[in-house]
């Protein structure tokens, strides 16, 4: 049905979107909540499990109900089921 309507999957399915700029910033859309936050790790609840970002000097620059910006030295982005 999603393909037939030609609408973005994130809109219809609530899929998480990640926009990464280099190794220093990322924007996350359609997350459900912040589970853990430290300078070395950010763990988010997403529709299909959890999303974990690890690195150094991580900072949540801003967040709203459905998007956020994380800055710092991003080393790894992992999906956890």
At 52-77, the pLDDT tens digits run 999 999 999 999 998 999 999 999 99
Cα 10 from chain centroid?
13
State the pLDDT at residue 66: 87
Domain made up of 2-80: CATH architecture: Sandwich (2.60)
- Of the pLDDT bands very low, low, confident and very high (cuts 50, 70, 90), residue 8 is low
Domain ranges of the chain: 2-80
Distance (Å, whole) CA 44 – CA 69: 12
At 20-36, the pLDDT tens digits run 999 999 999 999 999 99
User: Does residue 5 surpass a pLDDT of 70?
Assistant: no
- Of the pLDDT bands very low, low, confident and very high (cuts 50, 70, 90), residue 15 is confident
Choose between 68 and 5: higher pLDDT: 68
Distance (Å, whole) CA 69 – CA 65: 12
């Amino acid at each position: 049905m999603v393909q037939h309507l030609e609408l973005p999957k994130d809109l219809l399915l609530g899929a998480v979107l990640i926009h990464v700029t280099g190794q220093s910033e990322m924007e996350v859309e359609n997350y459900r909540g912040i589970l853990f936050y430290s300078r070395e790790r950010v763990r988010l609840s997403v529709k299909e499990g959890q999303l974990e970002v690890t690195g150094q000097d991580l900072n949540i620059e801003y967040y709203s109900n459905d998007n956020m910006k994380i800055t710092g030295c991003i080393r790894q982005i992992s999906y956890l089921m």
